[in-house]
């Protein structure tokens, strides 16, 4: 399909969203069913490289396009925050690999599920953005905010459990860092939702 010049941003956002969803699915699968070969880890590195290329496309097009379908600042902020989600997924999996994580406990598994659910809602929001159904973005933004609140509660509960049961300082530090890195991914999803809601406000 050949997109008109003004649609290059929307088509790239769709590509970013699809790429991000693949990464979130791989991430969740790797957490729930860790593979000895870490194939998910390798794939997510590939998705991250693709994500960087898509972000570069947005920046390049912004630099040479006079009329854009949305505010330039909104386009840039959305691209950056979508990339932050993917960067967070890759960084967390790399850290798990470095720490040789074996025990994917209930907190980590639920966090991976929340991240995937959030990314799915981000994708649905992007679909509404591209079709300019701005008002239809709000239910997905609300869902993302609710998932981020759950992630906050999960972080608090996981830290309480860690303090109560973990007596090895190195293990404590490792789990605390992974819990916090995963919660930061849901924060990035919420940032995307906030940007989309601001776009909604300006275009409805």
DSSP 135: G
| CATH number for the domain that contains residue 49 | 1.20.58.220
Q: How far apart are CA 26 and CA 20, in angstroms?
A: 10
What does the block give as tokens for 147?
A: 């998932």
Structural domain containing residue 140: 5-203
What are 108-131's pLDDT values in tens digits?
Answer: 999 999 999 999 999 999 999 999
- Total domain count for the chain? 1
Quote the percentage of the chain above a pLDDT of 70. Answer: 94
Ranking 4-18, 66-80, 88-102, 185-199 by mean pLDDT, the lowest is 4-18
The three-class DSSP label of residue 102 is coil
Average pLDDT of the chain is: 91
What are 147-195's pLDDT values in tens digits?
Answer: 999 999 999 999 999 999 999 999 999 999 999 999 999 999 999 999 9
């Amino acid at each position: 399909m050949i997109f008109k010049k003004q649609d290059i941003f929307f088509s790239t956002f769709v590509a970013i969203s699809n790429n991000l969803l693949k990464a979130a699915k791989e991430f969740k699968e790797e957490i729930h069913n860790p593979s000895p070969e870490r194939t998910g880890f390798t794939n997510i590195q590939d998705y991250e490289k693709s994500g960087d290329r898509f972000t570069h496309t947005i920046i390049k097009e912004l630099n040479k396009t006079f009329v854009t379908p949305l505010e330039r600042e909104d386009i840039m902020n959305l691209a950056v925050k979508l990339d932050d989600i993917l960067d967070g997924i890759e960084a967390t999996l790399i850290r798990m690999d470095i720490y040789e994580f074996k025990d994917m406990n209930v907190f980590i598994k639920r966090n991976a599920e929340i991240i995937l659910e959030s990314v799915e809602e981000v994708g649905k929001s992007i679909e509404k953005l591209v079709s300019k159904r701005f008002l239809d973005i709000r239910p997905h933004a609300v869902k993302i905010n609710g998932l981020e609140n759950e992630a906050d509660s999960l972080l608090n509960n996981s830290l309480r459990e860690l303090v109560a049961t973990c007596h090895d300082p190195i293990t404590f530090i490792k789990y605390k860092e992974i819990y916090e890195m995963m919660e930061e991914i849901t924060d990035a999803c919420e940032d995307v939702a906030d940007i989309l809601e601001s776009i909604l406000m300006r275009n409805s």
